[in-house]
């Protein structure tokens, strides 16, 4: 097009001269175009590799450094929820810090999440969650953190108010690894009560936390364990509502559960089945409980997440933390337990 336009006005110039002129014009044009494109691509590459821009791009994230000790699966799930919540709140990338150990989360879930190095030189804005088993309104101030700073969270965000707004994101992110998922499916399919079909009954997961909650320190602080009375009432709540039901019990104290979790003489033995999960890892037990239709939880964050993952009707022990205890006084149970979960005394 350029040659046609240019040559058309030079009708009196010999053909050879015209041809050479067109060749020169085309060549110069191509050189200019190539140079422009090359300069643009080089400039773009330089822009991406520029230290200042790289810092801005990689620092705009929120992360949490999972503790090596003293933090179990339920607590780490609340850490993870906190990261996802703050990332959504501040339009940042959710991340976990790279660690030299396999966290509880990585052993149980196939997490598709960005990892950052502990030695990252990004400016860090640290935020420590202030209240246990509660919502911390100070979290809203994180929207004011500059985008060239990363946000580092500490302590678990144990409240349904963090989980509920990102429920869809969390359910997508928390995919069980193949091993616990397969072991859970095998356990459930091999423990269908004789003569029952899957469509003829409902499963209710029962999680009983004991163990370290029976220590003197825990009791003094306000941690409690559910009583046999509570468990009878909680199981009875479901027996009254379903014609045929299987309770699947998971616990760190199965001998105690076998002693106190039994069918009532008032229940139809052909309509109520109690099955115990034994010899499984915490991850497999969580996958089993998450596969149930409804949940009876007692105390602790593991049972909280088992109920949330199951996503059915949930009843919980109302005396956790213990009334009048130090832990109860600094917690807000209306912010810890979702409002549609059902408290039962015992």
The model's pLDDT over 28-85, given as tens digits with 9 standing for 90+, comes to 443 343 333 333 333 322 222 223 333 344 689 999 877 777 678 999 999 999 999 9
38 vs 198: CA distance, rounded Å: 65
In the numeric block, which tokens belong to residue 137? Answer: 């309104």
Q: How far is the C-alpha of 286 from the C-alpha of 170, rounded, in Å?
A: 16
| Per-residue pLDDT tens over the stretch 130-187 | 989 999 999 999 999 998 999 999 888 999 999 999 999 999 999 999 999 999 999 9
Structural domains of the chain in order of their starting residue, each with its CATH number? 59-169 (no CATH), 178-344 (3.40.50.11350)
pTM of model > 0.85: no
Look at 112-121, 173-182, 270-279, 313-322 and tell me which has the smallest mean pLDDT.
112-121
Which residues lie closer than 8 Å to 95 by C-beta, 6 or more apart? 61, 62, 63, 83, 113, 114, 115, 116
And the tokens for 108?
């149980």
Residue 150 dihedral angles phi and psi, to the nearest 5°: -85, 160
Q: What pLDDT does 30 receive? A: 39
Q: How far apart are CA 343 and CA 346, in angstroms?
A: 10
CA atoms of 27 and 75, how far apart (whole Å): 67
Neighbours of 297 (CB within 10 A): 29
* Residue tagged 């045929």 (tokens): 244
How far apart CA 284 and CA 286 sit, in angstroms, is 5
Q: Could you tell me what percent of the chain has a pLDDT over 90?
A: 70
- The region that residue 91 occupies, defined by phi over 0 for left and psi between -120 and 50 for alpha, beta otherwise, is left
Task: Return d(Cα 139, Cα 161) in angstroms, integer.
Answer: 12
Give the tokens for residue 274: 């109690």
> Can you tell me the mean pLDDT for 306-314?
98
User: For the chain, what is the largest distance between any 2 Cα atoms, rounded to a whole number of angstroms?
Assistant: 116
Strand partners, 343: 316
298 sits in the region (left: phi over 0; alpha: psi -120 to 50; else beta) called alpha
Q: Residue 311 contacts by C-beta under 8 Å, 6 or more apart in sequence?
A: none
pLDDT band at 198 (very low <50, low <70, confident <90, very high): confident
CA dihedral for 225, 278, 107, 297, sign (positive or negative)? negative
List C-alpha distances in Å: 127 to 3, 221, 225: 66, 25, 31
């Amino acid at each position: 097009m350029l040659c046609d336009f240019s040559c058309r006005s030079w009708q009196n110039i010999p053909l050879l001269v015209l041809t050479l002129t067109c060749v020169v014009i085309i060549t110069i044009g191509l050189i200019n175009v190539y140079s422009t494109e090359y300069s643009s691509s080089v400039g773009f590459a330089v822009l991406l590799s520029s230290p200042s821009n790289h810092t801005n791009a990689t620092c705009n994230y929120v992360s949490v450094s999972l503790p090596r000790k003293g933090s179990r699966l339920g607590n780490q799930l609340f850490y993870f929820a906190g990261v996802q919540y703050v990332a959504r709140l501040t339009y940042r990338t959710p991340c976990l810090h790279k660690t030299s150990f396999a966290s509880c989360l990585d052993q149980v879930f196939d997490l598709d999440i960005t990892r950052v190095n502990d030695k990252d030189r990004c400016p860090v804005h640290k935020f420590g969650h202030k209240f246990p088993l509660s919502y911390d309104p100070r979290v809203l101030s994180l929207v004011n953190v500059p985008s060239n700073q990363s946000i580092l969270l500490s302590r678990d965000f144990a409240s349904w108010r963090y989980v509920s707004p990102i429920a869809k994101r969390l359910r997508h992110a928390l995919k069980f690894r193949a091993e616990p998922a397969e072991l859970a499916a095998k356990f459930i399919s091999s423990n269908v009560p004789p003569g029952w079909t899957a469509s003829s009954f409902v499963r209710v997961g029962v999680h009983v936390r004991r163990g370290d909650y029976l220590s003197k320190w825990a009791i003094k602080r306000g941690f409690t364990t559910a009583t046999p009375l509570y468990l009878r009432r909680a199981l009875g709540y479901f027996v009254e509502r379903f014609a045929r039901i299987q309770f699947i019990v998971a616990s760190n104290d199965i001998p105690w559960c076998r002693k106190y979790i039994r069918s009532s003489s008032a229940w139809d033995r052909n309509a109520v089945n109690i099955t115990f999960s034994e010899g499984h890892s915490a991850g497999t037990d969580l996958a089993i409980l998450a596969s149930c239709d409804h949940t009876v939880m007692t105390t602790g964050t593991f049972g909280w997440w088992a109920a949330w993952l199951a996503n059915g009707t949930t009843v919980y022990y109302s005396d956790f933390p213990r009334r009048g205890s130090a832990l109860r006084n600094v917690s807000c149970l209306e912010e810890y337990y979702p409002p549609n979960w059902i408290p039962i005394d015992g």
